[in-house]
Amino acid sequence: MALARGYAATDASKPLEPFTFERREPREDDVVISIKYSGICHSDIHQARNEWGNSAFPMVPGHEIAGIVTAVGSKVSKFKVGDRVGVGCFVDSCTTCASRDVDLEQYMPGLVPTYNGVEADGETPTQGGYSDHIVVKEGYVLSIPENLPFEATAPLLCAGITLYSPLRNWGAGPGKKVAVVGMGGLGHMGVKLAHAMGADVTVLSQSLSKKEDGLKLGADHYYATSDAETFKTLAGTFDLILCTVSAEIDWNAYLGLLKVDGTLVLLGIPEKPVPVHAFALVPARRSIAGSMIGSIKETQEMLDFCGEHNIVSEIELIRMDQVNEAYERVIKSDVRYRFVIDMATL
Ligand code: NAP
Ligand code: ZN
């Protein structure tokens, strides 16, 4: 066992605080990673505050990890000391079931989340990226392209893949009209990725306050959802709408923005059920769907795509002791567009 330092939530109602815990010694197929940067995802906040009702404490959040390999087990062949690597939302999964074969392991019950989960042994709690190092099986470690600025790659490991996967699955590309609802951590990555794939991109934000940024990042159009005219102007427009909002919104109004055969994909996870009127779906053969992160194979494909297209996150780099203040700012939609913790400040 090796001691690790980090920041943990010890209770749903308390701020995060310094925390020391143990990481396992590397096994033959493990990679030891010195964590350099850790992104703050809104899911970290949902879980640190037990908003999904499934939190175990103490909890070291963080599933947008960028770091350097410091040691490898004897059977590791893909990575060597000094490599720039990433770890995303999960660190183990079923290895035998069919979904692993088709690279959909993120949807399997055997998935081991990077934190707030339990390892395959059924008892050791997993702890995440707000820490100095992590030990991860080789098969769950990603390579980060050398040309990308390191600190801004951390958010690709969750925000990036969460948007990349549905864009690919629903065929975003030239001739397709894609809307991204919410210009936050996930949303701004959706704008960049959909633009790079050649789609016509619209941002649907609560206000026009981030319009200039949205257009700079690759949006072709930008509308405020607080303006009722938006829903009239854009009725029947989109092939695909990716919704990153976790608040209660008027789902039927958003469905009305889809073309015939269009799909609304939920990425944000509201606490309450989503009420949908049959008339919002039936007369235009529309679908409503959900999507969660992506497989390891697809995450590597996304990182390589970002390397080719020079895509990283827009970030605000913060010190570890600013994490609680950063959480408050994320909740107020006051982040441009992802907080990343500089782990050297731990
Ligand atoms: P975020 O940075 O806080 O972005 C969410 C955006 O939603 C905000 O920037 C804001 O955009 C919009 N918004 C906030 N409150 C709203 C309200 N009351 N009404 C309408 N729009 C509102 O969060 P994030 O890190 O991108 O995560 C977003 C959600 O996705 C969270 O629920 C998170 O848990 C979930 N998530 C899901 C997956 C997955 O695999 N499906 C992965 C990661 C995260 P505007 O200011 O532009 O309106
Ligand atoms: Zn996340």
If you average pLDDT over every residue of the chain, what do you get?
96
Ligand number with the minimum distance to the CA of 271: 1
pLDDT, one tens digit per residue, over 89-131 is: 999 997 777 666 678 999 988 899 999 999 988 899 999 999 9
Instruction: Return the ligand 1 atom nearest residue 330 CA.
Output: 3
Average the pLDDT over 331-345 and give the result. Answer: 96
Distance 27 CA to ligand 1 centre (A): 37
pTM of the model: 0.97
Tell me, what DSSP letter sits at residue 294?
-
Instruction: Return the ligand 1 atom nearest residue 338 CA.
Output: 2
pLDDT at 306 over 80: yes
With a pLDDT cut of 70, the percent of the chain lying above it is 98
Say how far apart CA 48 and CA 35 lie, in whole Å. Answer: 20
Task: State if residue 247 touches ligand 1 by the CB under 6 angstroms criterion.
Answer: yes
Instruction: Return the ligand 1 atom nearest residue 46 CA.
Output: 34
pLDDT at 215 over 70: yes
Ligand number with the minimum distance to the CA of 189: 1
Task: State if residue 184 touches ligand 1 by the CB under 6 angstroms criterion.
Answer: yes
Q: In what order do the strands lie in the sheet with 200-205?
A: 221-224, 200-205, 177-181, 238-243, 258-266, 287-290
Q: Which domains does the chain have, with CATH numbers?
A: 2-157+313-345 (3.90.180.10), 159-290 (3.40.50.720)
